[in-house]
Amino acid sequence: MTESAAATGTDWRAWQESWDRQQEWYMPDREERFRVMLDMVEAFAGPEPRVLDLACGTGSITDRLLKRFPKAESVGVDLDPALLTIAEGYFAGDRRVTFVTADLKDPGWTAALPHTSYDAVLTATALHWLHAEPLAALYGQLAGLVADGGVFMNADHMKDDTTPRINAAERAHRHAAMDRARAGGALDWADWWALAAADPVLAGPTARRFEIYGEHADGDTPSARWHADTLRAAGFAEARPVWASPSDALVLALK
């Protein structure tokens, strides 16, 4: 637990909600994907799952998991010191939650986890910063972490290059809506991080965050079919999308 999380009196709930609003500017259907994700957790693992919140950020998935399933347990793993500071502050004192600092590109990152098996591994809008080869390697590691009968779910940008006209029309429509929201005062990624950098408690972690990642990490956004095929090749028994929007998808892999 960081000192800032325990002792500063910072309004961590406000920061958590601010992050959610910023993310919703990009993904207005964000809550719908979380709902489907948790429906599938319940379907496969029941109401008391042990969950790994992968690339957890501020703990958005963990927050929704515990509100829906109060007897669940969550382990959040991330490398971002600023987002982890918010997560640790927001969940301070909650024994159901553990946070781990680890780099998913490090082959030994799983050694930092408190458990070797999870009923569900969940991630959203995070793994697109990985290129295809390290993402496939990560999927192989996750196949070893998910319990038999358990699930991995990834909700992210998943682009289908076989439909360029559909992609272009969807992008234009989505960006027009984003421009309208921005005109109404919505914060984008850069705005949000500028606020974090100006906050006395988050300034240090934010500076460290940009030392690690730079301005933004750009990986690959392969299709949902690629994700499903790669997950099966990594050792999962079944995999397919269980939710989709015009730009994003939620792929579920069953161990």
- List per-residue pLDDT tens for the chain, 255 residues long: 444 444 567 999 999 999 999 999 899 999 999 999 999 999 999 999 999 999 999 999 999 999 999 999 999 999 999 999 999 999 999 999 999 999 999 999 999 999 999 999 999 999 999 999 999 999 999 999 999 999 999 999 999 999 999 999 999 999 999 999 989 998 999 999 999 999 999 999 999 999 999 876 678 899 999 999 999 999 999 999 999 999 999 999 999
Element (H, E) at 250: strand 248-254
Radius of gyration of the chain from its Cα atoms, rounded to whole angstroms:
18
Q: How far apart are CA 186 and CA 18, in angstroms?
A: 10
pLDDT, residue 219, reads: 80
> What is the predicted pLDDT for the residue at 9?
73
With b for 16 or more beta-carbon neighbours within 10 A and e for fewer, the 151-162 pattern comes to bbbbbbbbbbee
pTM: 0.94
Q: Tell me the two tokens of residue 117.
A: 């098996």
pLDDT score recorded for residue 42: 98
151's enclosing H/E stretch is strand 146-157
Predicted local confidence at residue 220, as pLDDT: 82
Task: Starting at the earlier edge strand, list the strands of the sheet with 97-101.
Answer: 97-101, 73-78, 50-54, 118-124, 146-157, 248-254, 238-244
- Counting DSSP H helices and E strands in the chain, the numbers are 10, 7
Q: In 3-state terms, the chain is what percent helix, strand and coil (to 5)?
A: 50, 20, 30
**Cα separation, 29 vs 66, whole angstroms:** 20
